[in-house]
Amino acid sequence: MDAVGLFRPYDQKTPTSAPEPEPVAAATTSAAGTAAKNRPTPTRSQAQAARMDALHPKLTKRQAAAQDRAAAEKKRMTEAQASDNLPERVLLRNYVDARISIVQFILPIMLLCLGGSWAFSRLPVMTLALTIFLYVIVLACVVTCWFFWQGYKRELAARLPHASSKGLVMMLVTRMMMIPRMRQPRPVVQRGEEY
């Protein structure tokens, strides 16, 4: 039973001409479809360090500050948007946007009065007239804001009985002072429309 040679000593013979090894491709594909790797398997600590680097990249001070600023800005915008979407604030915006008042013209009037006082600085009568006119306009704006606030409180009590009007006076005044196309958030109700 010489043919099997199971218990014979292993005969190591060097071949006379060894075939040259074929170059290994950088990424060969096996039958299963996965790419063969040409690098050693990373140790557990190396793999964990790579994962931590991906989760918490090392940033310079400037990059970290920029990232913090962007996160703070995003948080502030989210909070502002949530605050603007409160029902009492939406009602206030619609209440102001659906009406016209002298208050929305206060800024252009003040600029005209200031320019007029510079132009007529040598005429004390004109300067006095412009000053009196400006005081009358400011008084009219204060009275108009008061009437708007009372009307808004009645509307709020009728539509949203449990909503609070705390902190909304300043919002009403500043929204009334802005020209409609410059108001933020943008008006969704046009003048005279129902809301």
Task: Look at the chain and report how many structural domains it folds into.
Answer: 1
Residue 168 lies in a domain: yes
Residue 139 lies in a domain: yes
Confidence of residue 54 (pLDDT cuts 50, 70, 90): confident
Residue 174 lies in a domain: yes
Residue 173 lies in a domain: yes
Residue 34 lies in a domain: no
- Contacts (Cβ under 8 Å, ≥6 apart) of 83: 89
Q: What is the pTM of this model?
A: 0.61
Confidence of residue 26 (pLDDT cuts 50, 70, 90): very low
**Which range marks the domain in which residue 140 is found?**
84-182
**pLDDT at position 83, please?**
84
Residue 107 lies in a domain: yes
CA distances from 50 to 38, 56, 97 (A): 19, 10, 55
Residue 1 lies in a domain: no
Residue 15 lies in a domain: no
